[in-house]
């Protein structure tokens, strides 16, 4: 994109929420999170079996979720166990809940 001359200054909450939302902006990532929430945890390979996607693609989606802070990864060689990042999960839940509640008052 053609960058703007002056960066816009956003609140911490807005940036945080946009980050979470962006990670949730792909159906496969929502499905991964749903699966994780049910199983509590799983390995990368489990997801590769479930979704008709290349292993590298699944890994990349996991990276997105990880960098957004929605999941944790624990190395258990040679595998990696991914779980919901509960603290940030609650943070996200609260951010979205507060956000969507705003209109209700009016």
User: Footprint of a second copy on this chain (CB under 8 A)?
Assistant: 4, 6, 8, 10, 14-15, 17-18, 21-31, 33-34, 37-38, 40, 51-53, 84, 86, 89, 92-93, 96-97, 99-103, 106
Which H, E and C letters describe the chain, residue by residue?
CCCCCCCCCCCHHHHHHHHHHHHCCCHHHHHHHHHHHHHCEEEHHHHHHHCCCCHHHHHHHHHHHHHHCCEEEEEECCEEEEEECHHHHHHHHHHHHHHHHHHHHC
**Least distance in Å: CB of 79 to a second copy?**
21
Interacting residue with DNA among 22, 74, 90, 93 (CB under 7 A): 22
Task: Looking at residues 28 to 87 of the shown chain, list those that interact with DNA (rule: CB under 7 A).
Answer: 28, 43-45, 48, 52-64, 73, 75, 77-80
**Least distance in Å: CB of 104 to DNA?**
26
């Amino acid at each position: 994109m053609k960058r703007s001359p002056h960066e816009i200054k956003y609140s911490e909450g807005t940036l945080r929420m946009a980050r979470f939302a962006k990670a949730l902006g792909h159906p496969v990532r929502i499905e991964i999170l749903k699966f994780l929430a049910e199983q509590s945890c799983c390995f990368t390979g489990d997801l590769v079996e479930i979704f008709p996607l290349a292993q590298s693609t699944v890994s990349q989606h996991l990276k997105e979720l990880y960098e957004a802070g929605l999941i944790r990864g624990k190395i258990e060689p040679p595998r990696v166990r991914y779980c919901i990042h509960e603290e940030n999960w609650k943070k996200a839940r609260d951010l979205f809940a507060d956000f969507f509640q705003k209109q209700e008052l009016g």
